[in-house]
């Protein structure tokens, strides 16, 4: 069964960083292959995973609308169109969703895209979705189920309250979430912040320390998947992945 992991949180708290670290950690924990899904319209997960910018899945909308004029696209054709948009790596593949659609009725193609994303997900042991700061992708229910909703927060009151709001929104929307976790990330310094999250926070998955090797890796264009074992962020993410693996889908 594919483990569906969605990473969400306020802008700039380290969602993309944590999504890339979790993908690496899952592989290190023996969970492979992993599909990384970039659901942020300002796609940048590919930069941390060492892929060139892939053609977004969303660009299929126009193509599918045109196809529809002629005849309904055959499932096999659709599958091939989706597969062409998957960037393939050794243990981690990547698909980007791209921008939302313009005005017009896209329900038909959005449903097709949703179905094809679900089918694609079935080929992987785990799927890690890097969401945009809002809840757009999550609230559209593009995922049939989310086994683990990982709320990334920096250890500031604002970071934590944003995580709390997303949790509440997920509840209000009755999103099919198995478990919700707090992943504390300290993007800027090893110091400061609050001591421990308030009792109302979701259970703490792990605390990712500030890792000075990350910005250098990003600058040099090297993949976070090649981060050496033992680096502070890699070690913490591996602990997080172990929990996600052992708790399993609920
Ligand atoms: N644990 C960390 N250690 C060092 N730098 C980090 C860490 N987490 C995030 N950063 C840096 O903080 C910035 C924002 O992170 P990013 O993952 O892009 O945030 P988001 O996806 O939430 O907008 C990036 O420059 C990233 O390299
Ligand atoms: Mg991001």
CATH number, position 195: 3.40.50.300
Domain that holds residue 29: 3-247
- Confidence label for 175 from pLDDT (cuts 50, 70 and 90): confident
Which of 15, 17, 183, 221 to probe ligand 1 with, by most ligand atoms within 8 A of CB?
17
Least confident of 109-113, 120-124, 130-134, 231-235: 109-113
Looking up tokens 């944003």, which residue turns up? 162
Q: CA 160, CA 95: separation in Å to the nearest integer?
A: 29
Of 147 and 249, more confident: 147
pLDDT band at 192 (very low <50, low <70, confident <90, very high): very low
Residue 218 Cα to ligand 1 midpoint, Å, equals 10
Q: Residue 189: pLDDT band by 50, 70, 90 thresholds?
A: low
The total domain count for the chain is 1
- Radius of gyration in angstroms for the set of CA atoms belonging to the chain, rounded to a whole number: 18
In the block, tokens 């960083």 appear at 17
What are the pLDDT digits (tens) for 37-82? 999 989 999 999 999 999 998 888 777 777 766 666 677 788 888 9
Cα(44) to centroid(ligand 1), Å: 12
Q: Tell me: the pLDDT tens digits for 197-246?
A: 777 789 999 999 999 999 999 999 899 999 999 999 999 999 999 999 99
Query: From ligand 1's centre to the CA of 173, what distance in Å?
Result: 28
**Alpha carbon of 214 to ligand 1 centroid (Å):** 8
pLDDT over threshold 60, residue 191: no
Closest CA to ligand 1's atom 25: 215
Quickly tell me which residue has 């990330």 as its tokens: 185
Q: State residue 174's pLDDT score.
A: 87
In the prediction, which pLDDT does 156 show? Answer: 85
Task: Please state the atom number of ligand 1 nearest to the C-alpha of residue 218.
Answer: 27
How far apart are alpha carbons 222 and 214 in whole angstroms? Answer: 10
What residues does 148 pair with on adjacent strands? 5, 179
Is residue 124 very low, low, confident or very high in pLDDT (cuts 50, 70, 90)? Answer: very high
Mean pLDDT computed over every residue of the chain: 87
| Ligand 1 binding residues, C-beta < 6 A | 9, 11-17, 185-187, 208, 210-211, 214-215, 218, 233
């Amino acid at each position: 069964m594919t483990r569906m992991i969605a990473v969400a949180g306020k802008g700039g708290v380290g969602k993309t960083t944590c999504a890339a670290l979790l993908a690496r950690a899952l592989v290190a924990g023996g969970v492979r292959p992993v599909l990384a899904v970039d659901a942020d319209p300002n796609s940048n997960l590919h930069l941390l995973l060492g892929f060139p910018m892939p053609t977004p899945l969303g660009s299929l909308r126009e193509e599918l609308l045109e196809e529809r004029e002629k005849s309904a696209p055959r499932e096999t054709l659709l599958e091939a169109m989706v597969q062409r948009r998957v960037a393939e790596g050794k243990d981690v593949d990547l698909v980007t969703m791209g921008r939302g659609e313009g005005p017009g009725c896209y329900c038909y193609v959005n449903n097709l895209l949703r179905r094809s994303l679900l089918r694609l997900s079935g080929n992987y042991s785990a799927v890690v979705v890097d969401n945009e700061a809002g809840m757009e992708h999550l609230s559209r229910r593009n995922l049939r189920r989310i086994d683990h909703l990982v709320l990334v927060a920096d250890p500031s009151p604002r970071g934590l309250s944003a995580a709390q709001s997303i949790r509440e929104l997920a509840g209000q929307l009755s999103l099919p979430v198995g478990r919700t976790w707090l992943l504390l990330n300290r993007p800027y310094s090893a110091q400061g912040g609050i001591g421990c999250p308030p009792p109302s926070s979701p259970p703490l998955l792990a605390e990712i320390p500030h890792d000075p090797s990350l910005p250098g890796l990003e600058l040099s264009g090297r993949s976070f998947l090649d981060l050496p074992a033992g680096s502070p962020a890699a070690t913490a993410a591996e602990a997080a992945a172990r929990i996600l693996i052992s708790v399993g889908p609920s």
